[in-house]
Structure 1
Amino acid sequence: MAREPDKLHAVRTENERLTVTLIPRAAQAITTLMRITGLSKTDSINRAVQVYAFLAQQMADGKEVLLRDESGDTERVHIV
């Protein structure tokens, strides 16, 4: 059954400029993303927000987020 459209998945046709104050831990995470991916700060933040929205929606739908390492061991990720 197809999921009904919601505000999270609404299509925007314009860019939106925001000014935010990041806590030190978030600022460091963006720096880490930039180093790992080679993306700009703006692109890193845009992708991070999209991934977080996806994960939040999946968890709201009753799914779990799991990580599996090379040996096959899995670990449940708790995002609070």
Structure 2
Amino acid sequence: MAVTPHPDHPASERLSVTLVPPAVVAVNELAETGRVSKADVINRAVLLLGFVERERAKGHELMIRTEDGELERIHIL
């Protein structure tokens, strides 16, 4: 069955990328531990970065709460 793309979203696209060695390790580990494909890991990473960048553009900050309840600001370069 063919899937019709949503009018607001482009169709899927196959890309070829070269990852730096630490990214290769991270993708492999995340795919294995999450029991998902490498493509799923990369798609999720891109979507997460898109979300973070949109929020930063609104002036929002990315924070993480530590085990002791303290908030730490996350900086993504």
Bin of the TM-score, shorter chain as denominator length: 0.7 to 0.9
TM-score normalised per structure 1? 0.79
TM-score normalised per structure 2? 0.81
Matched residues, percent identical?
Answer: 41
List alignment gaps of at least 5 residues for structure 1.
1-9
**1:19 and 2:19 are equivalent in the alignment:** no
Residue aligned with 1:29, SS: helix
Q: Which residue of 2 aligns with 1:29?
A: 26
Regions of 4+ moved over 6 Å: none
Change (3 A) 1:43 1:61: same
Which gives a bigger RCO, structure 1 or 2 (Cα 8 Å, sep 6+)?
1
Q: Which residue of 2 aligns with 1:42?
A: 39
Superposition CA RMSD, Å: 1.6
Residue aligned with 1:59, SS: helix
1:20-72 per-residue CA deviation (whole Å, 9 max, x = no partner) reads: 00111111111121133111101111111000110111111110000002321
Aligned residues between the structures: 71
List alignment gaps of at least 5 residues for structure 2.
1-6
